[in-house]
A and B are shown apart, each in its own frame.
Chain A
Amino acid sequence: DAGVTQSPTHLIKTRGQQVTLRCSPKSGHDTVSWYQQALGQGPQFIFQYYEEEERQRGNFPDRFSGHQFPNYSSELNVNALLLGDSALYLCASSSLGRQFFGPGTRLTVL
C-alpha cells in the first residue's frame, strides 16, 4: 500500500512564474490538506479539499489555489511567485482521522 506521494520532489522557479504541485493520497483517503513549511519553521495550513471542494482555508492569499480530482488526488497552484514562497510544500491525506504526510515538494523561487 503506497503512502502519500508528491511530485515533483524539487522545483526551481523565478519570481512571477506559476507553479503546480501534485499529490496522490493514501489508498482509501478522501481528504487532502496542503501545508507550507518555511525553512526552520513548522508547517502552516494552506487549505483542505474534500469531495472536490475547498472545505477550509488558512491565512494564504488568493494566489494559492487548488483542485481535487474524482480519484481524490489534488493539485496546489501558486501564481505570481514571490521569493517568500520558497518552502517545502507538504500534502497530507486523511479519512475521518489521522493525517498522513507525503515527503513534500521543495520549491525554490529565485
Chain B
Amino acid sequence: TQLLEQSPQFLSIQEGENLTVYCNSSSVFSSLQWYRQEPGEGPVLLVTVVTGGEVKKLKRLTFQFGDARKDSSLHITAAQPGDTGLYLCAGVKTGGTSYGKLTFGQGTILTVHP
C-alpha cells in the first residue's frame, strides 16, 4: 500500500513548457524529500522540505511543502530535455522506531521532447 500518492504518473511535454507534480498523503511526515532517478542509477536527492508551508527553489525547480506537512509539489519552469527522468517524492518519519525510513510515492515519469 502506497501511503504517498503521486500524480500524474506520466508526463510528456515539449521543451519550454511548465509542469507540476503532486505528492499527497493522509499521513503527517517529519519532512518530505524529492528525488530524481535516471535509468540504471539510484535515486538522487534534489531537496528536503521540513517546515509546513516551506518553499524551496533550485534553479528552475520550485518545491513546496503543505501547511499540514501531508502534501508537496514540484514545479518545473521552462522544462528542458535534460529534465527527463523519474521523479519520486519520499516521506520521512523520525522519532520512536522510525530511524529515517523513507516511504516513496510511485513516481512520475517525465519526458521532455526537444
Contact = CB atoms under 8 A, between A and B. Distances in A.
A56 B42 contact: no
A103 B42 contact: yes
A56 B98 contact: yes
Nearest to A43: B104
Interface string B77-88: 000000000001
Contact of B102 (A40, A97, A99, A103): A99
A92 interface: yes
A103 to B, nearest CB: 5
Given A92-B42, A103-B41, A45 B99 contact: no
Contacts of B109: 40
Contacts of A101: 42-44
Interface in B22-71: 40-45, 48
Contact of A56 (B43, B97, B107): B97
A55 interface: yes
Interface of B: 2, 4, 6, 40-45, 48, 88, 90, 97-107, 109
24 contacts: A31-B99, A40-B106, A40-B109, A42-B88, A42-B90, A42-B106, A42-B107, A43-B43, A43-B102, A43-B104, A48-B101, A50-B99, A55-B99, A56-B98, A90-B42, A94-B100, A97-B100, A98-B48, A99-B45, A100-B45, A101-B43, A101-B44, A103-B42, A104-B41
